[in-house]
């Protein structure tokens, strides 16, 4: 058997197989969770004028400590038509244009008004420009607001809108075909599950669909394929997808038929078997225009490989410049033994003290421990033993 491929190398080879798909232009609301194909620039300056940051009175700072004569009002969307002269004040509200002549805003809590006469009761704005958001504070026309390859998060979509954009160029949705394999599998909720101990509810399809919720995908559900090479081959040969994900049948047993079926369908395997626990027998390759990922069948192995490989592939096909999952640092609540040759992704939970503790059982078939975990502790190959209180790298799965 060839040596196991390190995770980072496997990810790099996989991403090299995946080119972003063709782009389309969609209204902002449809761009949520997708990736920008090109730099998005501001079509306007924000704020477009000097605006008040508070409710109060627009004044000339040099006129402090007053008193002033109130000559009018400026509200958001309804600016004051005139200017502020010496000894004058204009009633102003948050977001309203500061009239010409005024250079500070006196907050109403620091003033007392009687008819048109305004008196200072507090300190007043400390400086020229006090309580004013100057024109262009956030950005100016032509500024790059979003870079090509960045994800269109809620904040970036709002930024594009306030920057004057109405539509964005993004890759079209990614067609992801998902097939579970195994004679033992039946759809979740099937009647005969409890009656037949040879049958097992299919769960990996849910893992994949749920992990891809919020991603720009069209899922093609190939359902459950039997352990039959010809059936698999014919199914694979007919898919119209950008990414084919199978689970199960990836290992070395007599019924592990995904690899030969893919090859019989005209596909090619780029790599197989990764220095990863769980998830060692994952394979990656191409079939026609599609990238193919053959995940192991054990549900926790399918989950971990979906996080490390499926989501990044979808993100790259969907235009992400930075598709790999981001790890975080956490403090260990317990000692960990030295690690072996495979990178280990340990199911773990954050305790009330904020520290993370790995579950004592890590068998890759066990979904209960996965469901109770808040993170995976990433143990690189050959990591030395670690002590409680040490920092560790984690992947959040909460
Ligand atoms: N002799 C060896 N045996 C195994 C090796 C090895 O290196 N040498 N690797 C082990 C490792 S590691 C893993 S991981 C598994 C993965 O095997 P497969 O991808 O071939 O998976 P299956 O045998 O089809 O299934 C494994 C297990 O998971 C259950 N399963 C499968 N699909 C689903 C699904 N969609 N939903 C729920 N559960 C599923 C299946 O019933 C099996 O219990 O191989 C080891 N063996
Ligand atoms: O790699 Mo398997 O996923 O260890 O159980």
What is the predicted ipTM? 0.98
**Which residue among 298, 343, 365 has the greatest number of ligand 2 atoms within 8 angstroms of its CB, and so is best to mutate?**
298
pLDDT of residue 192: 65
Residue 296 CB–ligand 2 contact under 6 Å: yes
pLDDT tens sequence for the chain (398 residues) = 668 999 999 999 999 999 999 999 999 999 999 999 999 999 999 999 999 999 999 999 999 999 999 999 999 999 999 999 999 999 999 999 999 999 999 999 999 999 999 999 999 999 999 999 999 999 999 999 999 999 999 999 999 999 999 999 999 999 999 999 999 999 998 866 677 888 999 999 999 999 999 999 999 999 999 999 999 999 999 999 999 999 999 988 888 899 999 999 999 999 999 999 999 999 999 999 999 999 999 999 999 999 999 999 999 999 999 999 999 999 999 999 999 999 999 999 999 999 999 999 999 999 999 999 999 999 999 999 999 999 999 999 99
> Ligand 1 centroid to 296 CA: how many Å?
6
Say if ligand 2 is within 6 A of residue 364 CB: yes
Q: Dig out the tokens for 300 from the structure.
A: 């926790």
Residue 290 to residues 47, 212, 232, 313, 316, Cα–Cα distance (Å): 46, 17, 16, 11, 13
CA of 280 to the centre of ligand 2 (A): 5
Task: Tell me if 279 CB under 6 Å of ligand 2.
Answer: yes
Written as six digits, the tokens of 278 are 């769980």
| Plot region of 210 (φ>0 → left; ψ -120 to 50 → alpha; else → beta) | alpha
Q: Which fold has domain 328-396?
A: Beta-clip (2.40.340)
> What values do phi and psi take at 250, rounded to 5?
-100, -10
Q: Where in the chain is the domain with CATH 2.170.190.11?
A: 51-133
Pocket test for ligand 2, best of 280, 303, 340 (most atoms within 8 A of CB): 280
Q: Where in the chain is the domain with CATH 2.40.340.10?
A: 328-396
Residue range(s) occupied by CATH 3.40.980.10 in the chain: 7-21+172-317
DSSP-assigned letters across all residues of 290-343: EEEEEE-SSHHHHHHHIIIIIHHHHHHHTT-SS-SPPPEEEEBSS-BPPP-SSE
Residue located via tokens 């981001």: 326
56 CB under 6 A from ligand 2?
A: no
The pTM of this model reads 0.95
The CATH classification number of 51-133 equals: 2.170.190.11
Phi (first) and psi of residue 376, to 5 degrees: -115, 130
Q: What token pair was written down for 212?
A: 């891809």
Task: Encode 254-264: b = buried (16+ Cβ within 10 Å), e = exposed.
Answer: eebbbbebbbb
For position 1, what pLDDT does the model report? 63
Q: CB neighbours (10 Å) of residue 233?
A: 19
Ramachandran sector of residue 103 (left: φ over 0; alpha: ψ -120 to 50; beta: rest)? alpha
Of the candidate CATH numbers 3.40.980.10, 3.40.50.300, 3.40.1390.20, 1.10.3720.10, the domain formed by 7-21+172-317 belongs to 3.40.980.10
CB 204 near ligand 1, within 6 Å: yes
Ligand 2 atom 4 nearest Cα: 278
């Amino acid at each position: 058997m060839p040596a196991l491929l390190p995770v980072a190398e496997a990810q790099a080879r996989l991403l090299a197989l995946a080119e972003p798909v063709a782009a389309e232009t969609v209204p902002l609301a449809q761009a949520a969770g997708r990736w920008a194909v090109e730099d998005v620039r501001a079509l306007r300056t924000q704020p477009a004028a000097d605006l008040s940051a508070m409710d109060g009175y627009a004044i000339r700072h040099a006129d402090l400590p007053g008193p002033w004569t109130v000559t009018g009002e400026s509200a958001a969307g309804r600016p004051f038509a005139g200017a502020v002269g010496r000894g004058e004040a204009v009633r102003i509200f948050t977001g309203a244009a500061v009239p010409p002549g005024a250079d500070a805003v006196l907050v109403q809590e620091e003033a007392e008004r009687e008819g048109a006469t305004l008196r200072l009761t507090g300190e007043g704005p400390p400086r020229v420009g006090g309580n004013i958001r100057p024109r262009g504070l956030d950005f100016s026309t032509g500024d790059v607001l979003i870079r090509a390859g960045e994800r269109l998060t809620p904040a970036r979509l709002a930024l594009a809108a306030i920057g004057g954009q109405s539509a964005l160029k993004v890759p079209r949705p990614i067609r992801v075909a998902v097939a579970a394999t195994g004679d033992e599998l039946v759809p979740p909720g099937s009647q005969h599950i409890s009656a037949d101990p040879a049958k097992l509810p299919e769960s990996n399809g849910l893992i994949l669909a749920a992990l891809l919720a919020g991603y720009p995908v069209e899922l093609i559900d190939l359902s459950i394929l039997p352990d039959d090479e010809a059936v698999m081959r014919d199914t694979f040969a007919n898919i119209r997808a950008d990414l084919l994900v199978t689970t199960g049948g990836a290992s070395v047993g007599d019924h592990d038929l995904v690899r030969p079926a893919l090859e019989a369908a005209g596909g090619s395997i780029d790599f197989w078997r990764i220095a990863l626990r769980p998830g060692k027998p994952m394979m990656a390759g191409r079939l026609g225009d599609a990238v193919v990922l053959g995940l192991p069948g054990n549900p926790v192995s399918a989950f971990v490989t979906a996080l490390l490989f499926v989501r990044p592939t979808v993100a790259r096909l969907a235009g992400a410049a930075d598709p790999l999952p981001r790890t975080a640092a956490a403090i260990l609540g317990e000692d960990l033994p030295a690690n072996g040759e495979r990178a280990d992704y340990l199911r773990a939970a954050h305790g009330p003290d904020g520290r993370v503790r790995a579950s004592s059982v890590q068998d890759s078939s066990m979904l209960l421990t996965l469901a109770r975990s808040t993170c995976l502790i990433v143990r690189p190959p050959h990591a030395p033993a670690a002590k409680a209180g040490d920092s560790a790298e984690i992947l959040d799965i909460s």
